[in-house]
Amino acid sequence: MKKELFFVIAGFLLALNTYAQKEMDDNLFSVSFGPSIPIGNYGNTNLANDNAGFAKTGEAIHVSFEHKLNKHFGIAAMLYRQKNSVNTAAMSTQFEGVGFNNTPPYFSNGSTPPPTPTYVYVPNWQFDKDSYYLGGFYAGGVFESPIGKAKRLSFVAKAMLGVVNATSPELNGKGNSDTVLVYVNQTKATAWGCSYLLSAGLKYRLHNKWNLMFNTEYVGTNSIKFKNVTTSYTLENGYILTSGGYVPGSSSYLTTSSKLGAVTQTFQSINLNLGIGWSF
């Protein structure tokens, strides 16, 4: 009886172990990160393009869970975060070609016509550093196909849709010449949007439950509208540069302009990710 019980228990443990080994490949938890390279309007650095984002190469990270439905197909869910700083050097160069209203204040006395508008171009610009942020949740499908007889290496492709929260940077810049100071500002804002993600890459089984992964992915969004953004500039004319800094001249005056409205931006990037995954 004891002998029979031993074989029953041994058979049960063997079956359980076989099932666990089978199930080990059904789920995958992974963490991946790498450079995020802006493309399209998001990376454009031409002020003549109203949709130019002036975004630089940044970084992206995501945490994902995959579940296999059969040998090749599965479903996946992903938490995503991306950061791209503003290309302040390119923005400084572009603002050298922007003309700012330099018309002195006009006080009508009934006989003197208003002055003809004049514009000034300021050569020296500096912008504070800030960044775009994009984060959200994605869900979609996974395709996996082993490569070679050993089946340690696999080709993996994903197609996913998501909801994202985006943050536009605050822009603070200052330009100057010998007699003119110009300050420009655009306030920070956040907004929700829709996104899609396409990726293709390789997964290599290291040992037992561990996997090493590399993939290239494309991330894009709809045209996200940031509301209640204030854009303004202040021009100080007639100031004289001295050894102690700028001081008002005899004919100094201020010109200001402010506008409240919406700003739109499309996020597009190519990400190169390296990750580690745990099968269970």
Q: Tell me what pLDDT residue 9 has.
A: 44
Q: Tell me what pLDDT residue 241 has.
A: 55
Q: Tell me what pLDDT residue 110 has.
A: 62
Q: Tell me what pLDDT residue 95 has.
A: 96
Q: Tell me what pLDDT residue 150 has.
A: 81
Q: Tell me what pLDDT residue 19 has.
A: 43
pLDDT tens string 180-203:
889 999 999 999 999 999 999 999
* 137-144 average pLDDT score: 98
Which among 47, 78, 58, 30 is positioned nearest to 269, based on CA atoms?
58
Write down the mean pLDDT value for the chain.
Answer: 87
- The DSSP call for residue 1 is -
Predicted confidence band of residue 177 (pLDDT cuts 50, 70, 90): confident
Give the 3-state secondary structure of residue 56. coil
Residue 193's H or E segment, with its range, is strand 189-207
Residue 116's H or E segment, with its range, is none
All structural domains of the chain with their residue ranges: 23-279
Q: Which numeric CATH code is attached to 23-279?
A: 2.40.160.20
Q: Tell me what pLDDT residue 2 has.
A: 44
Q: Tell me what pLDDT residue 236 has.
A: 84
Q: Tell me what pLDDT residue 151 has.
A: 82
Q: Given a cut of 70, is residue 254 above it in pLDDT?
A: yes
Predicted confidence band of residue 247 (pLDDT cuts 50, 70, 90): low
* 129-149 average pLDDT score: 96
d(CA 259, CA 247): 28
pTM of the predicted model over 0.75: yes
Q: Number of helices (H) and strands (E), helices first, in the chain?
A: 3, 13
pLDDT tens string 2-58:
454 444 445 544 444 444 444 446 899 999 999 999 999 999 999 999 999 999 999
- The DSSP call for residue 59 is E
Q: Tell me what pLDDT residue 240 has.
A: 56
Buried b (16+ CB within 10 A) or exposed e, 149-178: eeeeebebebebebebebbbbebebbbbee
* Residue in the block written with tokens 């991306």: 82
Predicted confidence band of residue 127 (pLDDT cuts 50, 70, 90): very high
In the structure encoding, which two tokens stand for residue 97, read together? Answer: 């070609």
Q: Are 47 and 87 in contact (CB under 8 A)?
A: no
Is the pLDDT higher at 87 or at 3?
87
Q: Are 35 and 58 in contact (CB under 8 A)?
A: yes
Proportion of the chain above pLDDT 90, given as a percent: 70
Predicted confidence band of residue 269 (pLDDT cuts 50, 70, 90): very high
